[in-house]
Amino acid sequence: MGLIFDIKRYAVHDGPGIRTTVFLKGCPLTCLWCHNPEGISKESELMWSKERCIHCKTCQNACLQGALTFSDDALHINKNTCNLCTTCVDVCPSQALEVIGKEMTVTQVIKEIEKDTIFYDESKGGVTFSGGEPLMQPDFLYQLLKACKEQGIHTAVDTSGYSSSDVLLKIGAYTDLFLYDVKVINDRIHKETTGASNNLILKNLKELSRAGKEVIVRFPLIPGVNDGEKDIGELGEFVSSVNVKKVNILPYHKAGIEKAKRLNQNPFMCEPPSHTRVTSAKKRLEECGLNVTVGG
Ligand code: SF4
Ligand code: SF4
């Protein structure tokens, strides 16, 4: 049994062809710019949409735990008393409340994946396991990957690489492609912006490459964090030195802001990088001998 927070069908940005992307809940990092903040907590949680809410307070009156209160037009959810009974979700007339995170068995997830087999065959696509950080649920992920490979389905794992090397190499046995985030090459800035050192991440990238696994490095380009010429050059040189050939630049976008607000978090805000900045980052990485694409 594992905790899933979304399954997206017909995804075209998470590896080759048409794919089904399965999002596993829980992440050991806390990247400021996270575009899936609902995937960070490894527990299920209640999310409220201010835009949809009509402030009828039906939810507050229905909650037997007294977990909901309104102040300044915002709904506050007491996570200590909320037992995720979903009563408020059911009574809300405008679908402004949602429980994020659903327990599913391997068989249930595979059933969802199987619905799209025809698209995988025609487009040379497959399944991508993402998150959160899918390696946070290593046994569940391993069983899912194994079940996919037994059916001949192409598998990709979208990971931050922040996990034990043993776990990473074990799931590598059933992983055709790693989409591997290298967020910030400067360790001090990495710690400040993700909450952890990048030492393990860089070490694991070397291990995967040494093991002959196919890897595409994903580099989120975040203005003011990792878009300096020197940082990009150092990142390119490192990736090149460990014999990984492909880098995918993911320019920052604002998709995570609204979701963070709905989770009562303070969202990180900056403007997306300009076209000129993205082009210049691409050129700098290409100078390191890398094959660089932009966008997922
Ligand atoms: S899920 Fe249940 S306990 Fe939690 S806030 Fe809603 S009604 Fe209250
Ligand atoms: S029941 Fe729904 S619409 Fe009404 S106050 Fe609660 S969240 Fe808002």
* Same domain assignment for residues 251 and 217: yes
Name the residue range of residue 83's domain: 45-100
Contact, 153 vs 117, CB < 8 A?
Answer: yes
Question: Which domain-ending residue is among 85, 100, 115?
Answer: 100
* Same domain assignment for residues 58 and 137: no
Query: What is the rounded CA–CA span in Å between residue 208 and residue 188?
Result: 24
Question: How many domains are contained in the chain?
Answer: 2
CATH number of the domain encompassing residue 69:
3.30.70.20
Query: What is the rounded CA–CA span in Å between residue 105 and residue 279?
Result: 43
Strands in 246-251's sheet, in edge-to-edge order, are: 102-104, 2-11, 19-24, 126-130, 154-159, 177-181, 215-221, 246-251, 291-294
pLDDT at 268: 74
Query: What is the rounded CA–CA span in Å between residue 183 and residue 161?
Result: 11
Q: What are phi and psi of 180, to 5 degrees?
A: -115, 115
Supply 102's token pair.
Answer: 């659903």
Among all bound ligands, the one having the nearest atom to the CA of 97 is 2
- The Å distance, Cα 92 to ligand 1 centre, comes to 11
Question: Which domain-ending residue is among 68, 85, 100?
Answer: 100
* Same domain assignment for residues 249 and 262: yes
pLDDT at 270: 81
* Same domain assignment for residues 53 and 108: no
The DSSP-derived string for 176-214 is: SEEEEE---SSHHHHHHHHSS-SHHHHHHHHHHHHTT--
**pLDDT tens for the chain, residues 1 to 296:** 999 999 999 999 899 999 999 999 999 999 988 888 999 999 999 999 988 999 999 999 999 999 999 988 889 999 899 999 999 999 999 999 999 999 999 999 999 999 999 999 899 999 999 999 999 999 999 999 999 999 999 999 999 999 999 999 999 999 999 999 999 999 999 999 999 999 999 999 999 999 999 999 999 999 999 999 999 999 999 999 999 999 999 999 887 777 777 777 777 778 889 999 999 999 999 999 999 999 86
pLDDT at 35: 85
What's the alpha-carbon Rg for the chain, to the nearest Å?
Answer: 20
* Same domain assignment for residues 151 and 32: yes
Q: Whose alpha carbon is nearest atom 8 of ligand 1?
A: 63
Atom of ligand 1 nearest to the CA of 87: 7
* Same domain assignment for residues 255 and 119: yes
* Same domain assignment for residues 169 and 87: no
* Same domain assignment for residues 167 and 276: yes
Contact, 125 vs 19, CB < 8 A?
Answer: yes
Supply 269's token pair.
Answer: 């805000």
* CA 52 and chain centroid, separation: 25
**Does the C-beta of 59 come closer than 6 Å to ligand 2?**
yes
**Does the C-beta of 58 come closer than 6 Å to ligand 2?**
yes
Q: Whose alpha carbon is nearest atom 8 of ligand 2?
A: 53
Atom of ligand 1 nearest to the CA of 85: 2
Tracing tokens 């794992």 back to the chain, one arrives at 157
Residue spans of beta strands (DSSP E) within 205-295: 215-221, 246-251, 291-294
**Does the C-beta of 67 come closer than 6 Å to ligand 2?**
no
